[in-house]
Amino acid sequence: MLTIDNLEKSFKKNKALDCFSCEFEHGIYGLLGPNGSGKTTMMRCICDLIKYKGKIDCGGAKIGYLPQQFGMMKSLKLFDMMKYFATLKKIPTPEQDEEIKRCLELVNLYDKAKDKVGSLSGGMVRRSGIAQAILGDPEVILFDEPTAGLDPEERTRFKTMLKSIGKNKTIIVSTHIVSDVEAVCDKIVIIDKGRKKFIGTNEEVAAIASSKAYLVEEKFEGILSGNYYIKDRITRNGENYLYVLSDIPIENSIAAQANIEDGYLCALKNI
């Protein structure tokens, strides 16, 4: 569906993407990576917004894109703005109104259609961005941090919507918040410093950290060795514990049940 082959992009000496290759089938993909890892850059390359080296092939599919920074002309009504996008996406005029209605309803904004963009809240603008990305039912949809600025209710609604539209499509959702993607994504791509670190299902990601997660009493902090990462400090039964990811077993520790986040962190920290 979408093939990326040896993608490379540099900003002066800074390599934002480095030999990135990946094949995206139908399904929902979570693109996980820390700040500056190259998620936005990759999406921009797919949309042909910037020059790059390497090959990207989406087989001529239509692409819907929600940029990380998205806004609209404030003095226009939301509906008119959507009309603009609909025309741009070559949706036939008689079908436009119906399609706009469908998309705005999916993001729970249809009641605001006649409002000026300037009067919408930040989260509403974000949701209208989601609506314009799915307008015209494109085969490939890229969401760059779609949930930034959304309240918990809307986050849930977004995930539900993803599930409902995600059939026979390639959807890529970029984020650095693991909980945003874990429940809905079929696969997770971990990206760091412009390189693909890992690709796999939720379980496979979690499995990276299996038997690498430990609860250690705080007083043993000094004896930690090898490649390890203190993910959290927690208090249990009045005792202070460290939640540690480590590639070598730790004495006097309690093994913990690793989750996706642990797997993601292990992948990033090479643990």
Partner 1 sequence: MIKKSFKLFFKMPRILIPAILLIIFQATALIYYLKSYSINGDVFLYILNSFSNCLISFIIIFYVSYEFFYLLKRSKIDEAIYANRNGKIKTLSSMAVVLTTIPALEFLIMFLFELGVILNSGMTDYSYIVHIASVLFLYIFLVGLIPIFIGAIFALKFKRIGSYSLAALIFFILSDISDILFMVSQKIEINLWVIKYFFGYILPNDLNSMLLQLDTYGIPGEIYRWNLVLFWIFLLLFFYILICKIKIKKVRVVSLSLAGVLAVINLVGYFKGGSHYEFGPQLDSISMESYYYNKYNKPKTMDADFSVEKYDMKLNIWRQLDAEINMKLSDESLNSYNFTLFHGYRVERVTDSDGMELPFDREGDYLTVHSNKNTPSLNIKYSGYSPILYSSSQGCVLPGFFPYYPIPGFYDFIKSQSYTPILDLKKAEFKIDISSPRQFYSNLNSEEQNKNCFIGKTDYPTLISGFFRDDPDDDYKIIAQTVKELGIDELDAKYIDEIKKIIEEKSKDEDIKIDLNNITIIQVPYYIINGFYTSGLVYFISDDQLFITFNEEPIKDEEAEHIIRAKKLGYKKYLYDEWLKASGVEYPNLS
Ligand X SMILES: Nc1ncnc2c1ncn2[C@@H]1O[C@H](COP(=O)(O)OP(=O)(O)OP(=O)(O)O)[C@@H](O)[C@H]1O
> Is residue 202 at the binding interface for Mg ion, with CB under 5 A as the rule?
no
Which range touches Mg ion (CB under 5 A), out of 33-41, 116-124, 193-201, 255-263? 33-41
Q: Among 132, 147, 170, 253, indicate the residue that binds partner 1 (CB under 8 A).
A: 132
> Is residue 128 at the binding interface for ligand X, with CB under 6 A as the rule?
no
Q: Where do the H-state alpha helices sit in 149-253? A: 152-165, 178-182, 202-208
* In the block, residue with structure tokens 């693109």: 31
Which range touches partner 1 (CB under 8 A), out of 5-13, 19-27, 81-89, 104-112? 81-89
Assess contact for 245 and 212: CB atoms under 8 A: yes
Q: Torsion-angle region of residue 204: left (phi > 0), alpha (psi -120 to 50) or beta? A: alpha
Residue 41 touches which of ligand X, Mg ion, partner 1, none (CB < 5 to 8 A by kind)?
A: ligand X
Residue 82 touches which of partner 1, Mg ion, ligand X, none (CB < 5 to 8 A by kind)?
A: none
Report the C-alpha gap between 133 and 136 in whole angstroms. 8
Q: At closest approach, how far in Å is the CB of 96 from partner 1?
A: 11
Residue 253, SS3 per DSSP? strand
Q: At closest approach, how far in Å is the CB of 123 from Mg ion?
A: 18
Assess contact for 135 and 105: CB atoms under 8 A: no
The residues in 3-42 that bind ligand X, with binding defined as CB under 6 A, are 11, 14, 16, 33, 35-41
Residue 85 touches which of Mg ion, partner 1, ligand X, none (CB < 5 to 8 A by kind)?
A: partner 1
> Is residue 176 at the binding interface for ligand X, with CB under 6 A as the rule?
yes
Nearest alpha carbon to residue 206 among 267, 143, 120, 125: 267
Q: How many CB atoms lie within 10 A of CB 13?
A: 5
Question: Interface with ligand X by CB under 6 A: which residues?
Answer: 11, 14, 16, 33, 35-41, 68, 176
